[in-house]
Amino acid sequence: MNMQRVRTAPRSPWQNAYAERVIGSIRRECLDHVIVVNAAGLHRVLTAHVTYYNDVSYCPTSLCG
């Protein structure tokens, strides 16, 4: 297939749009409303957000099985 690896520059949102979109969404929807004190607190908040995001009532019926 003749594929080559391309490195992206750090902190370049236009080069890694998918990762920047996820990080921005987590920051806006989840982390702007809480104060995180340590890594355990961050893990707890992000786990709760992922659980909420993947909940069947939140996900459109055509996408959730």
47/59 Cα distance (integer angstroms): 17
Domain membership flag for residue 5: no
Which band of pLDDT confidence, cut at 50, 70 and 90, is reported for residue 7? Answer: confident
Domain membership flag for residue 3: no
Q: Model's pTM, two decimal places?
A: 0.58
Which residue would you say has higher pLDDT here, 43 or 64? Answer: 43
Domain membership flag for residue 30: yes
Q: Which domain holds residue 43?
A: 17-53
Number of domains in the chain: 1
Domain membership flag for residue 26: yes
Nearest to 31 by CA among 23, 60, 16: 23
| Per-residue tokens: 7 | 């490195």
